[in-house]
Amino acid sequence: MIRLGLCCIFRKAPIKFRRTTANYLLSLDKGDQRHRLASICMHNAEALYRALEFCHARGIGAFRINSQILPLKTHPQARYALQGLPGGDEIIARFKQCGDFVRHNGLRTSFHPDQFIVLTSPDSGVVERSLADLAYHAEVAEWVAADVINIHGGGAYGEKPAALKRLTRVIEGLPPAIRSRLTLENDDRVYTPADLLPVCRATGIPLVYDLHHHRCLPDGEGVETTTAAALATWNHEPLMHLSSPLNGWQQPPFRPHHDYIDPADFPDCWRDLDLTLEVEAKAKELAVLKLRRWMADAGIAFAGR
């Protein structure tokens, strides 16, 4: 069966996650910074719990957690440890309750850090900052029972084979808390599935197959072949991404996402698979629920109520 996944935020449901900017936070004195961060982090822990309840009640089996759930966690001037904030232990306890809810109800949580995570960079400083951010994600992932931290390959820097060798070397040196959750995803500008699959096989890191990206940046392999190759990199429930282009496939640009999923973009070879399918659509929970209704009408089995 297919487990449908909601990504990060809601279109209409009254569940909001809070953020702050570095400029604003650093304009406050140290004490006010700590109280501000504590308030936001506790709010986000509570919002995550409500998001998980929402998903469980509506048969949405997976939730991607926004990487700013602890805002500015690794910012050079604003970084902090939750234990050092007012009520930090209570905030961590609330996140751990989210993890208990995930395990008890058979949900799945994941992270997809932003484009600043670049493990292919020849600049050691960029890689070091990327590793610090991955360590933050792994820490929260442990609390909330997230089994995936998904990243893109990053830049090619004019020499893709050398960049991929750097990526492989960095992955091989990752601590278990990160490496056990790390996945690689093909993107729509630099790295195709064919580029990343050798890295995945060499390192044991699964490939998150993004079909939309593959259609935007093809590599000569078909969907069915690439799906089989991606599935072979997983030793637990695979995860894939589905989205539709804003203006359809007849009128570029093709990269921007539509509010909803066009059923024509759902490949036949996925109909009988067991996997998590994260729905990358701007209408968020509305798009997930609409896709689920179409799947029910089309006779495609899905997890959940």
DSSP state of 165: H
Q: What is the pLDDT of residues 159-182, one digit of tens each?
A: 999 999 999 999 999 999 999 999
Q: Candidates 3.40.1190.20, 3.20.20.150, 3.40.50.1100, 3.40.50.880; correct CATH number of 2-303?
A: 3.20.20.150
Question: Which tokens in the block code for residue 211?
Answer: 């079909």
DSSP E strand boundaries for the chain: 2-7, 62-65, 108-111, 146-152, 182-185, 207-210, 239-242, 275-279
Residues 3-22, mean pLDDT to the nearest whole number: 97
* Vertex 113 angle, CA 159 and 198, to 5°: 40
Q: What is the pLDDT of residues 60-81, one digit of tens each?
A: 999 999 999 999 999 999 999 9
In this structure, which amino acid lies at residue 55? C
R_g of the chain, CA atoms, integer Å? 19
pLDDT of amino acid 114: 83
List C-alpha distances in Å: 158 to 32, 59, 126, 162.
45, 45, 17, 9
DSSP state of 59: T
Q: How far apart are the first and last CA of the chain?
A: 12
Q: What is the pLDDT of residues 125-162, one digit of tens each?
A: 999 999 999 999 999 999 999 999 999 999 999 999 99
Residues 247-262, mean pLDDT to the nearest whole number: 95
Question: Which tokens in the block code for residue 101?
Answer: 């809810």
d(CA 20, CA 70): 10
d(CA 144, CA 146): 6
304 confidence band (pLDDT: 50, 70, 90): confident
Residue 116 has pLDDT above 90, yes or no: no
DSSP state of 269: G
- The DSSP secondary structure of 94-160, one letter per residue, reads HHHHHHHHHHHHT-EEEE---TT--SS-S-HHHHHHHHHHHHHHHHHHHHHTEEEEEEE----TT-H
Q: Three-class SS of residue 213?
A: helix
pLDDT of amino acid 305: 61
Percent of the chain with pLDDT over 70: 100
d(CA 197, CA 86): 45
Q: Where are the domains of the chain?
A: 2-303
- Provide φ and ψ at 40, rounded to 5°: -65, -45
Q: Three-class SS of residue 49?
A: helix
Residue 14 has pLDDT above 70, yes or no: yes
Q: Are 8 and 281 in contact (CB under 8 A)?
A: no
